[in-house]
Structures are given as C-alpha cells and as structure tokens.
Amino acid sequence: MEDFLRTIKLIDTFSTTLNVSRSKFTSALRNNVDEADIDGLLSGAFEAFSSSDNIFTGSVNQNGFKIRKRKRAFESTFIKATAEGKLIEKGGALEIDVQINTSNNHMILFFGVLTIFFFMAFSLLIIRAFFLDNEFSTIIKIVPIVGIFILALFMFGIPYLIMKNGVQHIKQDLEREFHFIISKSNTLK
C-alpha cells in the first residue's frame, strides 16, 4: 500500500542536513510547534481559533517529530499532510529524514465509501440501460453512464489533487522553516 501511495505521490520523503546539535534543533523546533495530539479523530477541532503564532502543531522529542501545519480560520483545505521526522546526529551535523504523508484513515474511509457508491451506480445504470430498457436508443442509455463517470472523476480527482499539493507544500515549508528556525535561534542568543 505504501509503495502505491509513493507512486501516486501521496507519500514523499526528503533529507536535509543542518550544522547544529540535536538538542539545539529540538528546542528551537519545540518553540515553533504547538504541542498537540494530531492523530485523533477530533484533533485540532478548535485550533483554528487559537491565538498562537506557530505554523505547526504536533509533538517533538529528542529522536524525532511528528507535525502538521496548524489549521487556520477560514482556510479552504481540510486535508492536512503530516510530516514525521527522525533526527540523526553525525559528526557535529544533524541529519533530518522526513516522511510526508497525506493519507489517513478518514480519507481511506472516504475513498472506500465513494468506490462502493460509484460501483453500485455504474452497475445499476448498466443493468437498466442494456438489460431492462429496450425502448430508448443507445445514445440516451449511455448519457447517464457518462454523467456518473464524469462525476466520479471529479469526486476522486479533486481530493487526490488537494492531497498531492499538500505533500508538496509542506515539503517546501519544512525545508524553508528548518533553516529559518535555526537562523532565528542563532540570532536570539
């Protein structure tokens, strides 16, 4: 399953190296992440109304982190990509291996229900068009099938594109934020 999600670009990985110690990076990252559980069903239900200036929410420890972008009020995207990173200190430099994932149980359930619905709709329309009704021409029989097919393309395609863009956006944001967090912490001390 994970290989399939990588193929369709819903899971991505990247690595970056920073010239900073692990403890300094984790304390700087912890100062820029609101501590919260991001795996729960109702996690972040009211975080859009928080007064925090932090961009990310999640958890950070000495071995790694699991974060996502914080929800903002009146934001249009409801699908959030989660970044899970491992921190490896090698010779004074910190290597950060990050895996970004947008697929979660809610979306798997959504796509499963959608698949069942459209399979039943296609089946019923095909049975009705070709086995039960003989009074209409073939063109009139095919129009509802084509309509359901176009609707299915939109219902599967739009969430997929939103999830794929979410992976790319958080990847760019994290690469930029890691360097910004370290440079900001260096100027404060």
Task: Give domain status of residue 13, yes or no.
Answer: yes
CATH code of the domain covering residue 45: 3.30.530
Splitting the chain (189 residues) into consecutive groups of 10 residues, what average pLDDT does each group show? 87 91 90 80 62 83 89 66 91 91 80 94 85 70 88 93 88 89 72
Indicate whether 15 belongs to any domain.
Answer: yes
pLDDT digits (tens, 9 = 90+) for 79-101: 678 899 999 998 888 999 999 99
Domain housing 29: 2-105+156-188
Q: Which two tokens stand for residue 99?
A: 């895996």
Structure token digits, residue 57: 């929410």
Q: Evaluate whether residue 120 is within a structural domain.
A: no
For 84-109, b/e burial (b = at least 16 CB within 10 A) is bbebeeeeeebebebbbbbbbeeeee
Q: Does some domain include residue 123? A: no
The rounded distance, in Å, linking the Cα atoms of 55 and 78 is: 16
Structural domain contains residue 136: no
How high is the pLDDT of residue 4? 87
Is 45 inside a domain boundary? yes
Tally of domains in the chain? 1
150 part of a folded domain: no
pLDDT score recorded for residue 79: 67
Give every CB contact of residue 159 below 8 A, 6+ residues apart in sequence: 79, 107, 110, 111
Predicted local confidence at residue 77, as pLDDT: 59
Residue 149 lies in a domain: no
Residue 143 structure tokens: 């129009």
